[in-house]
Structure 1
Amino acid sequence: MITFQITGDSGFDAEVVVKPRHFLLFERATGVKFSQFEDEVSMATLYQLAHLVMKLLHPKDTPAKLGEFEKTFDVLPLEDAEPPGPTPAAP
């Protein structure tokens, strides 16, 4: 999944995790497929996704309009931690 670090001019600062149900809602609302996130995705699309998730998880902190959200919040996608590799064999 995707984790965003979201900060707002109002002092909001949190890591927000996008869960499968959020992707489902986003796909239905925008037509942007989940598979497109594996390739290149625009910042505009990331802001749309972040706005939807913020409205669900932090409705009191989130402007209703995407344009206002874009003007007052920063959205930074965080890199997922690499899964640990295989354990080396004992000598």
Structure 2
Amino acid sequence: MMTLKITGDNGFDAEVIAKPRHILAFERATGTKLSDFEDGVSMATLYQLAHLVMKIQHPQDTPAKLAEFEVTFDVLPVEEAEEPPGPTPAAP
């Protein structure tokens, strides 16, 4: 999963979550694999994913065309907090 902070000129301001099914649809639509994100992701690719997720989760707030979405919304990835390690088991 990937969390994206999205703000729009239309007043939209929220974090949206790209769930596995959204990423699968994105991979099929663009040919870009999630594993390609490990070395970083371009803004163009990030906007493609954000647009797809927004069209699914917030269709009433999302322009139909990617080009319009790109000029009216800002998209930033949200860093996932690493979980602290659990307690170390006692030695036997």
Query: Which category of TM-score, normalised to the shorter sequence, fits these structures?
Result: over 0.9
Q: Secondary structure at the match of 2:23?
A: helix
Hey, what's the Cα distance between the residues in 2 that align with 1:38 and 1:75?
18
Identity of aligned residues (%): 72
TM-score, normalised with respect to structure 2:
0.92
- Whichever residue aligns with residue 80 of structure 2, its letter is D
Separation (CA, whole Å) in 2 of partners of 1:9 and 1:61: 10
Distance 2:31 2:44 in 1: 14
Q: How far apart are 1:37 and its partner, in Å? A: 1.1
The correspondence of residues 1-91 of structure 1 with structure 2, limited to 5 A, is 1-88=1-88
Name structure 2 gaps, 5 residues minimum. none
Structure 1: gaps of 5 or more residues:
none
| TM-score of the superposed pair, with normalisation by structure 1 | 0.93
Letter in 1 for 2:3: T
Two-structure CA RMSD over aligned residues (Å): 1.2
Tell me by how many angstroms 1:75 deviates: 0.3
Where 2:85 maps in the other structure, the secondary structure is coil
Find the aligned partners of 2:41 and 2:12 in 1 and give their Cα distance. 25
Equivalenced residues, count: 90
Q: Counterparts of 1:49 and 1:81 in 2: how far apart (Å)?
A: 21
